Amino acid sequence: MMVSKKPCIHEGARLAGEGYYHLAGYLSLIGALDLQLSSHLLNGPSQSLRLTIQFSLVGLKYKQLSACLMDRKNLVFAEYGPYWRNIRKLCTIELLSSSKVELFRPMRREELVNFVETIKIAAKSRSVIDVSSKVESLIEDMSYRMIFGLKDDKFNLRSCLQQAVSITGAFNLADFIPYLRAFDLQGFGRRMKAVNMVLDGFLEKIIDEHVQDAKELHGTHRDFIDVMLSLIESNNTRELHLGRDHIKAIMVDMLAGTMDTSSTAIEWVIAELLKNPRVMKLVQEELQIVVGLDRIVEEADLIKLDYLKMVIKESMRLHPVAPLLVPHESIEDITIKGYFIPKSSRVLINTWAIGRDPNVWSSNAEEFFPERFIGTNIDFQGRDFRFLPFGSGRRKCPGMQLGSMVVELVLAQLVHCFNLELPGGMSPNDLEMTEKFGLTLPRANHLFAVPTYRLRVNFGA
């Protein structure tokens, strides 16, 4: 038996190359899902499929902490079974379907126009902008408006959610030595309960306001809460018996799912574009041909931006937003390549390591080279195990369509409307690309740039 050190994906990848397999306590931790094993998983026949697809995907790591958050009614924490199936169906059909995503198109346009306008002001005075903060607040505003109709964060919701995500992503001793759970030695349980109380207070208040407003709205939906309230009203809550607690839990899922994921993905693409001026030039040329310099990008343009799509894939290959996906749990005993993996093992799929494996991506795996996707049919769907930015199988991301569209849209708009330069004459080679490890993998430091307006027209909405 080998006790793993603090998980670190870089180290995981290194150890993986050496073929290590970590076991800790009675949990089989494949945190550093070794590359040999993963290559086998990717190339091998049925067993690889069984591991990634057939295993029930449950956030075991969260078992202790998730109980403190929203009474464990969240989709992301739900164990595979009827409850998870019902809540997932509700989210995919009632909230995240193409028609629902389409409903919020005017809102997204309005927010993007504001975003462009504020950057234009900085461009006029040749000021440096904090690209990371700008993108984060754009995504935050869009998410708040879609989920509960406001964009006013009086409850400091962002910091609450970030705390919840960081606690669930932290190295929790009790996951490895289960009898320590009762003692809460690292204080995660207490901190999670405190975060839960603040979140709960906010969500209760916002649902009350929506219930009041619903009387005047006569069935018109403004946001996700209205949709869910109207399902309760019409007694159309499927098998779920939807109630207030579910609404609160789903709102937390949607907020946590949408906020840091899209902004992290966007920031990495911009960083890679600043580091690779050749690629930036090609992205802007494509936009110039498809959109032209006399207007901003519209959602309908996205389908024609093939090169941008490859650039995003390439960035997600090197910088997956969720480097170990969400921890999964095996539902049956299985032996792969001589490794016995017992039922109820925690399975971490190291997409970070897979994305940088030269055996999978050739010797230029570390290079940012979007053209590697030309002529391939590798997409976000999780069918090709070399590339799993949204996961795979039954537990793959239900917000994939919305998330990937927002990432494309914001990036296209930003680099179409502005040329971006690194501040203080910094060379692209000097731009640091350090990651901050957690459940998600954002940049360790904010990204700064000097914008110059590119379009021939000056217009807003």
Q: What Rg value do the Cα atoms of the chain yield, rounded?
A: 22
Nearest residue (CB) to ligand HEM, 226 versus 253: 253
Phi, psi of 376 (to 5 degrees): -105, 165
Supply 454's token pair: 């590119």
Nearest residue (CB) to ligand HEM, 275 versus 328: 328
Nearest residue (CB) to ligand HEM, 287 versus 402: 402
How far apart are CB 443 and ligand HEM at their closest, in Å? 15
How far apart are CB 292 and ligand HEM at their closest, in Å? 27
Helix (H/G/I), strand (E/B), else coil: 188: helix
Please spell the DSSP secondary structure of 167-187, one letter per residue: HHHS--HHHHSGGGGGG-TTS
DSSP conformation class of 78: P
Amino acid identity, residue 75?
L
Q: Tell me if 397 is assigned to a ligand binding site.
A: yes
How far apart are CB 316 and ligand HEM at their closest, in Å? 7
Nearest residue (CB) to ligand HEM, 206 versus 402: 402
> Distance between CA atoms of 418 and 119, rounded to whole angstroms?
9
Which residues contribute to the site for ligand HEM (CB under 6 A)? 57, 75-76, 88, 253-254, 257-258, 261-262, 265, 321-322, 325-326, 389-392, 395-399, 402-403, 407
**Residue-wise burial string across 49-58, b where 16 or more C-beta atoms lie within 10 A, e elsewhere:** ebbbbbbbbb
| Inter-CA distances, 286 with 61, 80, 404, Å | 43, 43, 19
Nearest residue (CB) to ligand HEM, 345 versus 392: 392
Phi, psi of 336 (to 5 degrees): -125, 125
Contact 316, 389 (CB under 8 A): yes
How far apart are CB 391 and ligand HEM at their closest, in Å? 2
How far apart are CB 389 and ligand HEM at their closest, in Å? 5
Task: Detail the residues annotated as belonging to a binding site.
Answer: 397
Task: Detail the residues annotated as belonging to a binding site for heme.
Answer: 397
